[in-house]
Chain A
Amino acid sequence: MPTVEFQGKSFTIDEDGFIDDYKNWSQEWVQYVKKEEGIDELNEEHQNVIKVLREYYEKNGIAPMVRVLSKVTGFKLKHIYELFPSGPGKGACKMAGLPKPTGCV
């Protein structure tokens, strides 16, 4: 799997740009994905989504359903798309360091 260097850190990623291991996540990874996803500025709301995703994953071992993410963060799906143009899966989960979504996507 390819490796990327960013702000002095190196991350192993797959062909879709997801991190190899949840545990290798760091704030530098967030900055790297921000650049890759074309997000202008990270605000509190981005960080809130990432925090919710990581806490949910740590507790349950899965990414939350979109409805759960909406309910816990208080952001409607439309707003999540405004924050992460690629959407909750490809954008937010990638930035939070969660495994790549699977199934018939």
Chain B
Amino acid sequence: MAFVSSGYNPKEPMKDRITDIGPKHFEEFYPPVIKNNKGKWLYHEILEPGVLVHVSETGDEVYTVRAGGCRLMSIEHIREICEIADKHCNGYLRFTTRNNIEFMVDSKSKVKPLVDDLMSRKQPGGCYKFPVGGTGAGITNIVHTQGWIHCHTPATDASGPVKATMDVLFDDFRTMRLPAHVRVSLACCLNMCGAVHCSDIAILGYHRKPPLLDHEYLDKMCEVPLAIAACPTAAIKPSKVTLPSGVEVKSVAVNNDRCMFCGNCYTMCPSMPLADTEGDGIVIMAGGKVSNRLSAPKFSKVVVAFLPNEAPRWPQTTAVIKKIVEAYAKGANKYERVGEWAERIGWERFFEKCEIEFTHHLIDDFRDPAYFTWRQTTQFKF
């Protein structure tokens, strides 16, 4: 389409410029029942998977229907969400911190038509557009990142593996049969945007090859000291390199024996790319949590050092996740999160129950704190 101006004048960029107004105040978008009962809620219940009721001290009730969201959405899809909200909820809706969609209604009689409407909507390929679920001790949405859609440092895709994983775990999105809720997250490189470091099960993009050096452009494109300082293992040092043309340029040298392929240097320096089709893949971590319930928050721990990228369905990755979920569902006590379960039975049992091979890659070797992850006791199970 030809250019259509919004009224912005590029010749006078600062004229009529509105700035620092921040987001809209959330109270503007409250459904009336929420606005009237703010701060007065007495209790809540989960009526069925995906449907909650909150009861206020004034006697008001609000019914929330939670539907899965794909996070990466077209405007058409958002318009359809708005259409549903217009039809059932007077135009009000909200998104959760795990990118699910919540529709709220103020009487029980409005719940069933809403749920039926949501479950009846499907994509042309057959997927549910708005599957209802994600509450209680089940598996809710996967917090994930950009992947090959938009980012330049990923070691794997985000949307693809998330779709494949949620397909495998879909029954647990629709039910609440687990000992406690299981949070699954994905980050496509170990920048770990999102929640992988603190999730029950985490999928993490991982490289296995050191960066390639584009000596000709490195000093022009990069601030060399930043690339050196970006390395957590000090594998990078400054060097002078003579190009095939005979010109001597400033560059860096990478000690490949010290490189653990984190990719931080590429983040700082575009001339050090390291993505590789065969080298890149996925690491699985488990046992993290953020809540303070029963036990303190935990970091997730690496349990599978490498699984290959297998677009478009990542079968090995989803199989491992399914195995962990099933072993946890079978073994854990009520209210026990994956990390609490693993720590109670011992990690050696965790690997046995989940049928995951333990490899030397899983033993921490990063600086002094690695020592504290080794076992300094005779207490272990054969």
Binding site for B on A (CB under 8 A): 20-22, 38, 57, 60-63, 85, 98-100, 102-104
Q: Are A102 and B14 in contact (CB under 8 A)?
A: no
Select A21's contact among B11, B14, B220, beta carbons within 8 Å: B220
25 contacts between A and B (CB under 8 A): A20-B220, A38-B11, A38-B13, A38-B14, A57-B223, A60-B225, A61-B225, A62-B223, A62-B226, A63-B223, A85-B13, A85-B14, A98-B223, A99-B220, A99-B222, A99-B223, A100-B221, A102-B222, A102-B267, A102-B268, A102-B270, A103-B226, A103-B268, A104-B191, A104-B267
Interfacial chain B residues near A20, Cβ < 8 Å:
220
Interfacial chain B residues near A63, Cβ < 8 Å:
223
In the assembled complex, the CB of A53 is this many whole angstroms from the nearest CB of chain B, namely 12
Which residue in chain A gives the minimum CB-CB distance to B266?
A102
Cα A96 to Cα B231 in complex, Å, equals 27
Which residue among A57, A98, A99, A100 has the maximum number of chain B CB atoms within 10 Å of its CB? A99
B269 contacts chain A at the CB level, 8 A cutoff: yes
Which residue in chain A gives the minimum CB-CB distance to B221?
A99
Interfacial chain B residues near A62, Cβ < 8 Å:
223-226
In the assembled complex, the CB of A66 is this many whole angstroms from the nearest CB of chain B, namely 15
B10 contacts chain A at the CB level, 8 A cutoff: yes
Interfacial chain A residues near B14, Cβ < 8 Å:
38, 85
Cα A98 to Cα B13 in complex, Å, equals 24
Cα A38 to Cα B14 in complex, Å, equals 9
Interface residues of A: mostly helix, strand, loop or mixed? loop
Which residue in chain A gives the minimum CB-CB distance to B11?
A38
Binary CB contact string for chain B from 195 to 236 against chain A (1 if under 8 A, 0 otherwise): 000000000000000000000000011111110000000000
Cα A45 to Cα B280 in complex, Å, equals 48
Size category of the B interface is 10 to 19
Cα A60 to Cα B10 in complex, Å, equals 36
Cα A100 to Cα B225 in complex, Å, equals 14
Interfacial chain A residues near B12, Cβ < 8 Å:
38
In the assembled complex, the CB of A85 is this many whole angstroms from the nearest CB of chain B, namely 6
Which residue in chain A gives the minimum CB-CB distance to B153?
A104
Interfacial chain B residues near A99, Cβ < 8 Å:
220-223
Cα A20 to Cα B225 in complex, Å, equals 19
In the assembled complex, the CB of A82 is this many whole angstroms from the nearest CB of chain B, namely 9
Cα A21 to Cα B267 in complex, Å, equals 19
Interfacial chain B residues near A61, Cβ < 8 Å:
223-225
Which residue in chain B gives the minimum CB-CB distance to A20?
B220
If A20-B220, A99-B222, A102-B222 are given as contacts, then 7 extra A-B residue pairs at C-beta distance below 8 Å, sorted by A number, are: A21-B220, A38-B13, A62-B225, A85-B14, A102-B268, A102-B270, A103-B267
In the assembled complex, the CB of A63 is this many whole angstroms from the nearest CB of chain B, namely 6
Which residue in chain A gives the minimum CB-CB distance to B193?
A104
Contacting A at CB under 8 A, from B256-283, are 267-270
Which residue in chain B gives the minimum CB-CB distance to A21?
B220
Interfacial chain A residues near B270, Cβ < 8 Å:
102
Contacting A at CB under 8 A, from B52-103, are none
In the assembled complex, the CB of B222 is this many whole angstroms from the nearest CB of chain A, namely 6
Cα A97 to Cα B91 in complex, Å, equals 51
Interfacial chain B residues near A60, Cβ < 8 Å:
225
Cα A99 to Cα B226 in complex, Å, equals 12
Interfacial chain B residues near A22, Cβ < 8 Å:
220
Interfacial chain A residues near B225, Cβ < 8 Å:
60-62
Cα A21 to Cα B221 in complex, Å, equals 7
Which residue among B191, B221, B268 has the maximum number of chain A CB atoms within 10 Å of its CB? B221
In the assembled complex, the CB of A2 is this many whole angstroms from the nearest CB of chain B, namely 16
Cα A100 to Cα B270 in complex, Å, equals 10
Cα A102 to Cα B218 in complex, Å, equals 13
Interfacial chain A residues near B10, Cβ < 8 Å:
38
Interfacial chain A residues near B220, Cβ < 8 Å:
20-22, 99
A-B pairs with lowest CB-CB distance, top 5: A62-B223, A38-B13, A21-B220, A102-B268, A62-B225
Cα A85 to Cα B225 in complex, Å, equals 28
Cα A89 to Cα B197 in complex, Å, equals 31
Cα A57 to Cα B226 in complex, Å, equals 12
Q: Are A102 and B269 in contact (CB under 8 A)?
A: yes
Interfacial chain A residues near B267, Cβ < 8 Å:
102-104
Which residue in chain A gives the minimum CB-CB distance to B222?
A99
Interfacial chain A residues near B226, Cβ < 8 Å:
62, 102-103
Cα A20 to Cα B216 in complex, Å, equals 12
